[in-house]
Amino acid sequence: MIWCVLMIGILLPQSSAHPGFFTSIGQMTDLIHTEKDLVTSLKDYIKAEEDKLEQIKKWAEKLDRLTNTATKDPEGFVGHPVNAFKLMKRLNTEWSELENLVLKDMSDGFISNLTIQRQYFPNDEDQVGAAKALFRLQDTYNLDTDTISKGNLPDPEHQRANGNLRYFEYIMTKEKDTNKSASDGQSDQKTTPRKKGIAVDYLPERQKYEMLCRGEGIKMTPRRQKKLFCRYHDGNRNPKFILAPAKQEDEWDKPRIIRFHDIISDAEIETVKDLAKPRLSRATVHDPETGKLTTAQYRVSKSAWLAGYEDPVVSRINMRIQDLTGLDVSTAEELQVANYGVGGQYEPHFDFARKDEPDAFRELGTGNRIATWLFYMSDVSAGGATVFPEVGASVWPKKGTAVFWYNLFASGEGDYSTRHAACPVLVGNKWVSNKWLHERGQEFRRPCTLSELE
The one-digit pLDDT tens for each residue of the chain (454 residues) are 333 433 334 333 343 444 566 677 777 778 888 889 899 999 999 999 999 999 999 999 999 999 999 999 988 988 889 989 988 998 999 899 989 999 988 888 888 888 888 887 888 887 887 788 788 888 888 887 777 776 666 654 444 444 444 444 444 454 455 544 444 444 343 334 444 444 456 678 889 999 999 998 767 888 999 999 999 999 888 899 999 999 999 999 999 999 999 999 999 999 999 999 999 887 666 565 555 556 556 567 889 999 999 999 999 999 999 999 999 999 999 999 999 877 888 889 999 998 888 778 888 889 999 999 999 999 998 999 999 999 999 999 999 999 999 999 988 999 999 999 999 998 889 999 999 999 998 887 766 544 443 4
Q: Are 377 and 421 in contact (CB under 8 A)?
A: no
Closest C-alpha among 247, 257, 262 to residue 399: 262
| Residue 287 CB burial class (10 angstroms; 0-12, 13-18, ≥19) | exposed
Pairing of strands 194-195, 369-376: unpaired
To the nearest 10°, report the CA torsion of 285, 299, 391, 230.
Answer: 100
Contacts 24+ apart (CB under 8 A), 223-226: 223/184, 223/187, 224/253
> In Å, how far from its chain's centre is CA 73?
77
For residue 278, the 8-state DSSP code is: G
Q: Are 346 and 299 in contact (CB under 8 A)?
A: yes
Element (H, E) at 83: helix 81-89
pLDDT at 162: 47
Coil vs helix vs strand at 186: helix
pLDDT at 318: 97
Coil vs helix vs strand at 188: helix
For residue 243, the 8-state DSSP code is: S
pLDDT at 203: 78
pLDDT at 344: 82
Residues 6+ apart with CB under 8 A from 58: none
Q: Are 402 and 391 in contact (CB under 8 A)?
A: no
Element (H, E) at 158: helix 156-176
Q: Which amino acid is at 403?
A: V
Q: Are 269 and 277 in contact (CB under 8 A)?
A: no
Residues 6+ apart with CB under 8 A from 61: none
Query: What is this structure's pTM?
Result: 0.73
Coil vs helix vs strand at 246: strand
Q: Are 218 and 193 in contact (CB under 8 A)?
A: yes
Cα–Cα dist 373/235, whole Å? 15
Closest C-alpha among 348, 347, 340 to residue 427: 340
